[in-house]
């Protein structure tokens, strides 16, 4: 092999990317050719210089990349929280207008009482007030179950603590508080689901 054949192989030789036959041919030529040996030394020097430069650049860029990664994860977590909240609100559409829902429930109750008192003959008239009181209590219980805005504010706060700040322990405490303060409600069900899927189990 002559110098023109060897020159393109020097970079691959430096990076140890040659076959055994090519490596032997290059080494054999380098023993007898001072000019190609000099070119090889310059190539090695250039490669080392480039590697040092890349390492220095990476050291200066790494802190910026770390900050960027944290920002990206926070942004993704915030998007996830918004999307999860939107899904729950879509399932519980009446939470957007709790007073309208209460008005519908009250109107339905009034209509039911009117129909029951004017068009149906009760077998035991003495039970009418008790039945109306039970129906009224049932409506109040359902309103408490779905329209507790404070519980949903705490849930939203727990989502932010867990998914944006990354503090599962504190979020776990808020979820438990929601369950304790609102037993049997939709908010308590959501909090229980979050606790059951949490990685942190105290």
Write out pLDDT tens, residues 45-100: 887 877 777 676 666 666 666 666 667 777 777 777 777 767 766 665 555 565 66
3 state DSSP class of 202: coil
Q: Given this model, what pLDDT does residue 139 score?
A: 62
pLDDT digits (tens, 9 = 90+) for 2-51: 787 877 887 788 888 888 888 888 888 888 888 888 888 888 888 787 77
d(CA 192, CA 202): 14
Token pair recorded at residue 43: 């190539």
Q: Is there a contact between 173 and 155 (Cβ–Cβ < 8 Å)? A: no
Token pair recorded at residue 42: 């310059």
pLDDT > 90 fraction of the chain, expressed in percent and rounded: 0
Q: What are phi and psi of 9, to 5 degrees?
A: -90, -10
3 state DSSP class of 92: coil
State the DSSP code for 2.
Answer: -
Which strand (E) or helix (H) includes residue 201?
Answer: none
pLDDT > 70 fraction of the chain, expressed in percent and rounded: 60
pTM over 0.85: no
Which strand (E) or helix (H) includes residue 163?
Answer: none
């Amino acid at each position: 092999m002559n110098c023109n054949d060897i020159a393109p192989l020097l970079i691959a030789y430096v990076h140890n990317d040659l076959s055994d036959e090519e490596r032997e041919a290059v080494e054999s030529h380098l023993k007898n050719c001072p000019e190609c040996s000099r070119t090889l030394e310059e190539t090695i020097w250039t490669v080392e210089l480039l590697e040092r430069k890349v390492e220095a650049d990476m050291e200066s860029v790494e802190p910026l990349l770390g900050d960027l990664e944290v920002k990206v994860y926070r942004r993704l977590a915030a998007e996830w929280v918004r999307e999860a909240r939107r899904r729950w609100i879509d399932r519980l559409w009446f939470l957007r207008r709790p007073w309208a829902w209460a008005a519908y429930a009250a109107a339905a109750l009034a209509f039911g009482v009117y129909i029951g008192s004017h068009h149906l003959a009760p077998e035991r008239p003495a039970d009418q007030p008790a039945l109306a009181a039970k129906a009224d209590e049932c409506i109040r219980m359902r309103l408490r179950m779905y329209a507790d805005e404070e519980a949903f504010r705490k849930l939203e706060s727990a989502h932010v603590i867990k998914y944006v700040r990354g503090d599962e322990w504190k979020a776990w405490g808020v979820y438990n508080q929601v369950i304790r303060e609102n037993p049997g409600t939709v908010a308590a069900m959501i909090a229980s689901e979050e606790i059951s899927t949490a990685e942190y189990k105290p």
